[in-house]
Amino acid sequence: MTEVTGPAAPGTPPPGCPAHGDAVRLGGLEYQQTPFELYRDLRGRYGSVAPVLLDGDVPAWLVLGYSEVSYVTAHDELFARDSRRWNQWDRIPADWPLLPFVGYQPSVLFTEGAEHRRRAGVITEALEGVDQFELGRECVHIADQLIASFSGRGTAELMSAYTHPLAMRAAVHMVGMPAGTADTEALVEDLRMSLDTAEGDDPVAAYGRVGERVHRLVTERRARPAADVTSRMLEHPAGLTDEEIVQDLISVIAAAQQPTANWICNTLRLLLTDERFALNVSGGRLSVGQALNEVLWLDTPTQNFIGRWAVRDTQLGGRHIRAGDCLVLGLAAANSDPQIWPGAEVGSENSAHLSFSNGEHRCPYPAPLLADVIARTAVETLLERLPDLVLAVDPKELTWRPSVWMRGLTALPVQFTPVAQ
């Protein structure tokens, strides 16, 4: 296996770097449908850190090992979040699909040190103001409205009719944005294009529209505060600027909407297809909790996260990492690392997964708890209202969205006994 041996001329990857040799493109059908088989193959070929190519054959490292991902996320002094360190910027075009999530922005996602603690602290305190019981009640109300819209038909496609709109309405409820409006629906579609680009999408333009809409919300809440996350961020004594709050709210909304929707859907898929849960799905709250946790291990909504940038030359997993190299956090690969599951069986009671990342830049508390409230309420309410819910297709016909970053189905068709309105 060729190792990186030293620096090259500016803009020219040296022999042995991920841009040369047998580096693997981070994409393709293998990632879409059976990513764990590909992760196993990459481990066999490269070990815990694999050379990969991003869109446009831009080189990076995919960190596959549980220990290695934990190490990277716990050592900000070696692997930092400010993407301006990247040594590949001269190769990145203005319309690069990943630019919305790699191009430096004044967001909490790219801050470091004391500034990150300040920004993350504002988000944490704003989220701590969310009443989890009230959020649960609101999610039941949202779920009942959505279920009523299709329960009389006896069939439904749950991705579009239930999981995504429920997570969206819950997210906009928390930040104080009106649900059900064309403006809000457009925001969610733009977030989808930014996170999970399909053919014909323009993720850079979509991300710009997201920023414009959230900026209007911040302006509205500065003039008329309310009991919501946006207002609490504006009133926080840290005194963030409107632009800082806009950027941080985008991160909050994006994390609360699509990943949570996919968490709900992936859990429903597990409950409806795995015989371990089949006899205890209806009203089976213990089974729902186990399924939610198992999905975070085996089908986590955020498969890969870009990323970290090496502060200086260092070693990781036997690889020489150059200053400015990009590291993609393989959260799904780390969760399935055979080093932590030598028996090849994931324990559904174990919550030491990396699905919410790790270290200072992990998903800020109490965001994982709020996501759990939304996901658990969505699954339990659906199964209680439609107790004989079953898949409408053979499980083998279910397909995953074409994304190496997010893990979610293209559709989840179900059938059930129609409920009289």
pLDDT tens string 103-127: 998 899 999 999 999 999 999 999 9
Q: Is residue 6 part of a domain?
A: no
61 within domain boundaries? yes
Which residues of 23-85 form beta strands (DSSP E)? 24-25, 49-54, 58-63, 79-80
In a domain, 259, yes or no: yes
Tens-place pLDDT, residues 240-254: 999 999 999 998 988
Indicate the range of 48-52, 81-85, 284-288, 316-320 predicted with least confidence.
Answer: 284-288
Is 262 contained in some domain? yes
Count Cβ atoms within 10 A of the Cβ of residue 412 and give its class: 0-12 exposed, 13-18 middle, 19 or more buried. Answer: buried
Structural domain contains residue 49: yes
Residue 97 has pLDDT above 50, yes or no: yes
- The residue-averaged pLDDT of 379-399 equals 95
Is 11 inside any structural domain? no
Residue 393 identity (one-letter amino acid)? V
Tokens of residue 380, six digits: 């339990």
Which ranges of 299-366 does DSSP label H, i.e. alpha helix? 331-335
Per-residue model confidence as pLDDT tens digits over 362-386: 998 899 999 999 999 999 999 999 9
How many domains, the chain?
A: 1
Asked if the structure places residue 17 within a domain, the reply is: no
- pLDDT of 171 over the 70 cut: yes
User: What does the block give as tokens for 119?
Assistant: 């920004």
| Confidence class for position 345, pLDDT limits 50, 70, 90 | low
pLDDT(19) > 60 = no
- Domain interval for residue 289: 24-415
Q: Does residue 406 form part of some domain?
A: yes
User: What is the chain's mean pLDDT, rounded?
Assistant: 87
pTM for the structure as a whole: 0.89
CATH number at residue 107: 1.10.630.10
**Cα first-last separation, the chain:** 65
